[in-house]
Amino acid sequence: MKNLILYTSFALLLSATTAEAQTQLPAAGKPKDFVLPASKKIELPNGLKLTMVPYGNIPKVTVRVVVKTGLVHEAKGETWLARYMGKLMEEGSLQNDLQSLSKKVAAMGGRLSINVGMESISIGGSVLSEYAPEFIRLIAEVLTTPAFPAAAGERLKNDLKRELTVRKGQPDAQAQQEFFSILFKDHPYASQFPTEEGLNALTVEKARDFYNKQFGAQRTSIYVAGNFDAAAVNTAVSQSLGNWAKGPAISYPPVKANKSSELVIIDRPNAPQSTLFLGTPVPDVSSPEFTQMEITNSLLGGSFGSRITRNIREDKGYTYSPYSAVMERQSNAVWYEKADVTSESTGASLFEISKEIRGLQAAPPPAEELKGIQNYEAGSFVLTNSSADGIIEQLNYMDMFGLKETYLTNRIKNLYSVTPAQVQNMARKYLNYEDMTLVIVGDKKQLESQMNTINDTRKKKKAF
């Protein structure tokens, strides 16, 4: 294992100030080099991958198993089957039912939870260091011999129904599902809500079947980070997972996000705010332009000092929580801006958002502004790699998107290589406001008088 030193190039951004000591911002010290934590990777004969990262002085260890399956593998009409399966797996293994499992894990100072995501399912938790091997064995039981107790079937289904009801009432969830449905139609990436009938039709058998079809060693990675005895961990993994069946190969159904300039308004009577969801497909992780897109996103809406946030929050006070992000999926990426804005300022907010996007298309950002954003991204990278969980997250991200070791070693250099002209080019090439999908969840009554303003922002404007 070797430690890799990254030469960070934080350049301090100073403002002009007066010359008196107490009234003048002092200079920063010399940036320290950042040492990337070393990790050890082992692949078992059945294809299961183990990554160990010794890190830190807290007597705890984080174990996370990631299986490359999830909502993405649900068939039509079986929405949330993967989540149902996850809940059933949480009920325990053939050796330990939920009560016995929970007791054992609690005695290690931990909790075992299963998170079902779009493209991956993660199983794990953190426990006191000395229990790492035992914890791994318990996780392995749940992973390879889940009980799928029939007795829990109805109760867990009812939990999902309750959750569906709760989610449907959230403006965020309403906006998000509408937005992604326009982009991904009936592909699981659309994040559609299930129907009550659909949930009723789920069975324990179907869940077990999903598990049998989608789980196996080839699709599985296990990450162990923090303080632990590496030899004991290695032994626990080999013994408890070494004989697990290979299972299916990694496979994600191909899909390309659909570009649409649709505007949808979902009525939320008397809502004090409109929830805006605005976005469009952009180049994905595999594209050479992706880093440029990440920087463009941070500068435009993805950081507190970004242009849209400074404008609609820190100048106009229309909103508290605006942000933009790039949602990443296999072979897909979608840029979106999300904000909950005061109902009567919906049109005004959209006007300002469109102005900021077009402004970036019209002129490259000043070098100093870009440098600040690059520092921000480089800093985020350092922070991510300064904690056990962050390191796991980083390594899993690289694994999910097939990124090589050079992604880590070149990350900081690549961030700083983006130029103002490239940022402007990203905005021009991919972020045309009038071509974006726009979903508004808000009070139609209050939106009526603002429709002219809203529609006017959607007209093609020659920005460049």
Partner 1 sequence: MKFSLRHGLRKAFYALCLVPLTTMANDPVPKAGKGMTIPVEYYKLANGLKVVLSQDKHAPIVTVAVYYNIGFRIEPKNRTGFAHLFEHMMFQGSKNFPKGEFDKLTERNGGFNNGSTRFDFTNYFEVMPSHMLEPILWAEADRMKALDLNQAALTNQQGVVKNEVKVNVLNRPYGGFPWLDMPQYANENWYNAHNFYGDLKDLDSANLEDVKSFFSTYYSPNNAALVIVGDFEIANAKAWIDKYFSAIPASQLPAKPDLTEPVQQKEKRFSKEDPLISKPAIAIAYKMPERNTPQYYAMGMISELLVEGKDSKLFQHLVQEKGYTSNINGGINYLGNMFNYNGPMLWMMDCIYDGTVNADSIIAKVDQSLAELEKEVTQESINLAMVKMRSSLYDNLGGFYGIGLADLLACFALFDDNPSRVNQLEAAFQQVTPELVRSTIRDYLRPTNRTILISQPAKKETK
Restricted to residues 182-211, the positions that interact with partner 1 (CB under 8 A) are none
Under the binding rule (CB under 8 A), the answer on residue 76 touching partner 1 is no
Under the binding rule (CB under 8 A), the answer on residue 335 touching partner 1 is no
Under the binding rule (CB under 8 A), the answer on residue 341 touching partner 1 is yes
Nearer of residues 22 and 406 to partner 1, judged by Cβ: 22
- Given 94, 107, 150, 421, the residue binding partner 1 (CB under 8 A): 107
Report the alpha-carbon distance of residue 403 to residue 49 in Å, rounded: 15
Tell me if 454 sits within 8 A of 347, measured CB to CB.
yes
Q: Which of 89, 85, 52, 46 is nearest to 220 (CA)?
A: 46
Pairing of the two strands 323-329 and 273-282: unpaired
Binding segment for partner 1 (CB under 8 A), chosen from 161-169, 238-246, 283-291, 352-360, is 161-169
- Given 4, 5, 12, 363, the residue binding partner 1 (CB under 8 A): 12
Backbone angles phi, psi at 292, to 5 degrees: -60, -40
Tell me if 396 sits within 8 A of 223, measured CB to CB.
yes
- Given 42, 213, 246, 320, the residue binding partner 1 (CB under 8 A): 320
Q: How far is the CB of 321 from partner 1 (least distance, A)?
A: 6
Q: How far is the CB of 350 from partner 1 (least distance, A)?
A: 16
Q: How far is the CB of 189 from partner 1 (least distance, A)?
A: 19
Q: How far is the CB of 459 from partner 1 (least distance, A)?
A: 28
Coil, strand or helix: which one is 329? strand
Nearer of residues 92 and 216 to partner 1, judged by Cβ: 92
- Given 2, 7, 19, 27, the residue binding partner 1 (CB under 8 A): 27
Nearer of residues 10 and 179 to partner 1, judged by Cβ: 10
Under the binding rule (CB under 8 A), the answer on residue 37 touching partner 1 is yes
Pairing of the two strands 4-6 and 121-128: unpaired
- Given 393, 396, 407, 444, the residue binding partner 1 (CB under 8 A): 393
The full DSSP string for 361-372 is: HHSPPPHHHHHH
Under the binding rule (CB under 8 A), the answer on residue 375 touching partner 1 is yes
Tell me how many residues contact partner 1 (CB under 8 A): 108
What are the CB-based long-range contacts (under 8 Å, 24+) for 347-350? Answer: 347/450, 347/451, 347/452, 347/453, 347/454, 347/457, 348/316, 348/318, 348/450, 348/453, 349/274, 349/276, 349/312, 349/316, 349/318, 349/319, 350/276, 350/278, 350/438, 350/453, 350/454, 350/457
Under the binding rule (CB under 8 A), the answer on residue 344 touching partner 1 is no
- Given 239, 321, 449, 455, the residue binding partner 1 (CB under 8 A): 321
Range list of β-strands (E), 248-383: 263-267, 273-282, 323-329, 332-342
Coil, strand or helix: which one is 230? helix
- Given 48, 51, 52, 62, the residue binding partner 1 (CB under 8 A): 62
**What is the per-residue binding string for partner 1 in 212-251, x denoting contact by CB under 8 A?**
-------------xxx-x----------------------
Tell me if 442 sits within 8 A of 274, measured CB to CB.
yes
The DSSP 8-state label assigned to residue 244 in this structure reads S
Nearer of residues 78 and 91 to partner 1, judged by Cβ: 91
Under the binding rule (CB under 8 A), the answer on residue 106 touching partner 1 is yes
Q: Where are the alpha helices (DSSP H) in 276-329?
A: 290-297, 307-309
Binding segment for partner 1 (CB under 8 A), chosen from 5-13, 68-76, 205-213, 215-223, is 5-13
Under the binding rule (CB under 8 A), the answer on residue 115 touching partner 1 is no
Binding segment for partner 1 (CB under 8 A), chosen from 101-109, 204-212, 214-222, 281-289, is 101-109
